Chain A
Amino acid sequence: MLSASEIRKVVEERTQRQKGTGKKVVDVREEMEHLEAKGEIIIHRIRPENRPVSASTLFGWTKRIPTDRLWHHKSCGQCGNIPGYPASLLWLMNETGRSYLNEPHQTSCTAWNYHGTATSNPVALAAVAARNFHRAYETDHFPLIHCGTSYGDYKEMRKLLVENATVRTKVRDVLRGMGRELVLPEEIVHYSEWVHAMTPELLARQKHSVRGIVATVHEPCHYYKMVPEDAVYDENVYAGQRPAVPSGILMSLGATVADYSTWYDCCGFGFRHILSEREFSRSFANLRKIRPMVDEAHSDVAITSDTGCVTTLDKSQWIGKAHGQPYMLPVLADVQFAALALGAHPYKIAQVHWHAASAEALMTKMGIDWSTAKAEFREYLKALKNGQAPELLHPAHPEIETYFAVNKGQVLPEEAPATAPAEIVANGGGGHPR
C-alpha cells in the first residue's frame, strides 16, 4: 500500500502530465461547477458568514471547513445510544459562539441500514442525501456531518450524482415531487474537521490539563477508506501520513497519542453484526483493538470520531469479563474528550453514563471532580422526574415543527436578533448547563 506522501506525489505527477491533454485527476468539485453552469444542480457554497478555515486533504487538495452557521446532520446511532457525543459538540459550539440549527427536519443518511441489510439502492441513498442537503440549503446553514458513515456515504453519493446523469435525473424528479431541488454542498464536512479547524479557539478555553494522559486513536474506516481523497491530513500530525483527525486535537490539548500495531483495523461494528451477530463484534473489538491499546500502548483512553466505532469499542467491553478480558478501557469521542478538557459537565453534557466502560478513573487523572458532578446529576434526575423543565443548549422547538419543516428552521427570522446568534442562547427552561 502506498504511503500518504507517495499518493500525493502520484496525484501531482499525474495532474502535471495530463494538463496538456485536457484530461485530469478528477476533483468532483470542478465537475460540480460545470453542472451548475448547465443548470443541472445548485452548489451550496460556503460563504464568508460560515467563517471557513482551509485544510489539506490526502491528495494535497485544499478543503474549506466552515466553522459557523452550521446545520447539524445528526447520527442515528449517536443520538440513540451515546447522546453525550452530539451534546458535547453542541456545547463546544456554544462555548466558541458558533451558530447552528439542530432541527427535527432531518433523516439519517440511512447508510447503516444499507451496509447492514442492503434493503436500499444507490438512487434511494442519493435521494435521501439530496433531501437532507436541500433542507440545509433552504435554511441557509451549511451541513456538518456527525457520523463517519454518513460522511463517507455522502461523499459517495455526491460523486454518484455528479458522474451519473441517469441517477441525477431520477433523484431530481423525486425531489421536485416534494418541492425540493438538487443541491450539492461545496464540501462534505465531518464534524471532526470542524474540531480540527477550531483547535486554536478550543485550546484558548482549556480548563483541565491532559498532560500525562495516554490516548490511543481508532481511525474510523469510513472517514478515510471511503472516497479517501477528501479526508483531511496535516503535515504536523503523523507527518501527514495518517488522517489529521481526531489525533490532532488530542496532541494539541497536550495528551500523548500512542501508536499500536492494529491502528489500521476496523472496530468490528460490521453494521449487521453489531445488531445481530455481536459475538463477532465483541471478539474483534476486544482482541484486535482494545487489547493492543492496553497491552502495547498502556492507554488511558481510546478516542475515535464515529458512531459505530465508539459504540463497538465501548459497549463490547463489559461482556469481556466473561472471557477473561477485563480491560474496561474508557472509549470516548474526540468531542467528549475535548469538552471534558474545556470544563463541560461530565454527566449533563458529556453524558459519560451511557458508556459501558467507566470514564471515572480517566476523569480523576484529568483533575475533574466527577464525584460532585455525579451527585449533582442524581439531584437533577430527581428534579426532572418531579417535573422540572430540562436544561437545554438551544431553544426548544415550537410544536408546529413536530409536523412541518418551516423554512427558516429553528429560529424564525422575525424572532432572531439581527446581530446575535440567537440559536445558541439557552432557553428559559433552566439556563446553560456546564
Chain B
Amino acid sequence: MSIVAHLPRRVLSLTEEEAASPPVMELTGRRRATSEERTVAETIYAEFRADPRHREFVLGCLNCGECTTGCPAARFYDFSPREMLQIAQNGDATTLWDAMQEKIWACCQCYTCNMRCRFGNDIAGIISVMRELSVIHGLESTRKVLAPFGRSLTLLMTVGTQVSSDMIQPDFFRDWGPFATGSDKVWDVGTDVMRRAIPSDVLHTTRSSWEVSVQTSLELFRIYEETGVLDMLRGLDPDLTEMLVDIIEERREEFEEARDRFRTELAGMHGPVATFMG
C-alpha cells in the first residue's frame, strides 16, 4: 500500500461557512488583516503617497544593497532599508501596512543608508514618514512599541528635554552599572548633591536635563498645540495627553503668579516676554 493511503483525508475546497469566515492566518503565515484594518491601511497608503516628502525622499533603487550592508539594524533584526525603500517606491497598501507593524521601528535613524545610497534616497527620512503615520493613526502595534516612553514624552512635551537624572536611576538602568547613574551607593550622597557638584547652576536640577524657564516651557507647548503634535499624541495616548495639558496649566498659573511677584522688574520689558504676557 502506498504511503499516501495512510495520510488523513483533507477537505480540498472550503465549505460555504468557511469561505464566509476566512482563516486568521494567510498561507504565508501572516495574520490576515480585518476589514477595518484594510480600510485604515488604504487610508495610510493614500496619505503616504500624497506626502510631499515622498517624491523628495524616494528617487529610485539600483538594488545594489549598499544601504543594507551598512545598516546596524539589519545585523540584528529582520530588517532591511532596501526593503523599506522598495516598499515606499513600489509597495501597495498591504505591504506598507505590514512594514508599519514592526519593521519600521528597527531602524536606528543613523543615516548610514542615506550616505551610502548612490541614488540619493532619504531612506531614514521615508521611514520617519511611515512612523509618523503609524502614530497619527494610533496603530495598536505603535502603542505597544511606544508604551515605555511615557516618562520621556512627559519631559519632552512639558520642558523640551528628553531625560533627567531622577529618571536615570539604578532601578531602571541596572545594566549601566553603579557608576553611571549618580548613585548614592558609590559616593555616599544623593543625586541632588551629585547634581550640585556640576559647575553650572542650570544643570543642578534633578527633574530635567537642565532648568528650563517657565516662559520657554509655555512657548514650546504652544508650538506643539499649533503644529498638530498634541493632536497626534492624543490619538496615541489620550490619558497622557490630558495629563500634559494639566501640567502645562499649572505652569501657566506659576507664570501668572511670578508676573505679579516680579512686576517691578518686568516693567518696561519688551520683546517676547511682553508679547507672551499679553
Contact = CB atoms under 8 A, between A and B. Distances in A.
Contacts of B156: 108, 110, 113
B202 A225 contact: no
B63 interface: no
Interface string A93-117: 0000000001111111010111111
21 contacts: A77-B162, A80-B164, A81-B180, A83-B195, A83-B198, A107-B160, A108-B156, A118-B131, A174-B223, A179-B274, A266-B112, A269-B108, A288-B75, A315-B177, A319-B177, A355-B179, A385-B193, A402-B213, A404-B266, A405-B216, A433-B199
Given A121-B229, A284-B72, A356-B180, A138 B272 contact: yes
A348 interface: yes
A81 B217 CA distance: 21
Contact of A108 (B204, B209, B228, B232): B209
A9 B160 CA distance: 41
Contact of B75 (A178, A284, A347): A284
A381 B222 CA distance: 40
B163 A80 contact: yes
Interface in A141-160: 152
Contacts of A222: 110-111
A174 B228 CA distance: 12
Contacts of A425: none
Nearest to A358: B179
B189 A404 contact: no
Given A221-B110, A275-B149, A124 B224 contact: yes
A86 B204 CA distance: 13
Interface size class of A (residues with CB under 8 A): 35 or more
A118 B128 contact: yes
Contacts of A284: 72, 75-76
B33 interface: no
Interface in B229-278: 229, 232-233, 236, 254-255, 258-259, 262, 265-266, 269-276
A349 B199 contact: yes
B214 A384 contact: no
A251 B209 CA distance: 32
Nearest to B156: A113
B271 A179 contact: yes
A169 to B, nearest CB: 13
Contacts of A288: 72, 75
Nearest to B266: A404
Contact of B213 (A110, A266, A404): A404
Given A283-B76, A284-B72, A406-B269, A225 B229 contact: no
The 7 closest A-B CB pairs, nearest first, are A179-B275, A107-B160, A318-B177, A118-B131, A80-B163, A266-B110, A76-B161
A114 B266 CA distance: 36
Interface string A200-231: 00000000000000000000011011101000
B226 interface: yes
Contact of B111 (A83, A225, A270, A405): A225
Nearest to B210: A79
Contacts of A358: 179
B93 interface: no
Given A1-B115, A278-B175, A381-B193, A348 B180 contact: no
A362 interface: no
Given A87-B203, A390-B204, A392-B201, 20 more contacts: A80-B167, A81-B165, A81-B181, A108-B160, A124-B223, A124-B224, A124-B228, A127-B223, A131-B219, A134-B272, A135-B216, A170-B227, A270-B72, A284-B76, A288-B72, A315-B176, A354-B179, A384-B196, A390-B197, A400-B265
A119 B233 contact: yes
Interface string B147-184: 01100110010011111110110000101110111100
A35 to B, nearest CB: 19
Contacts of A407: 269-273
Contacts of B131: 117-118
Contacts of B194: 381
B200 A394 contact: yes
Contacts of A397: 201-202
Contacts of A276: 145, 148-149
Given A117-B149, A121-B227, A179 B163 contact: no
A289 to B, nearest CB: 10
A196 B105 CA distance: 36
Contacts of B179: 318, 353-356, 358
A238 interface: no
Contact of B134 (A106, A118, A224, A405): A118
A121 B125 CA distance: 11
Contacts of A113: 152-153, 156, 162
Contact of A74 (B196, B210, B222): B210
Contacts of B197: 347-348, 351, 377, 380-381, 384, 390
B116 interface: yes
A190 to B, nearest CB: 15
B242 to A, nearest CB: 16
Contacts of B165: 80-81
Given A356-B180, A405-B273, A381 B236 contact: no
Contacts of A264: 70, 112
Interface in A222-245: 222, 224-226, 228
B99 interface: no
Given A106-B216, A179-B272, A404-B266, A225 B115 contact: yes
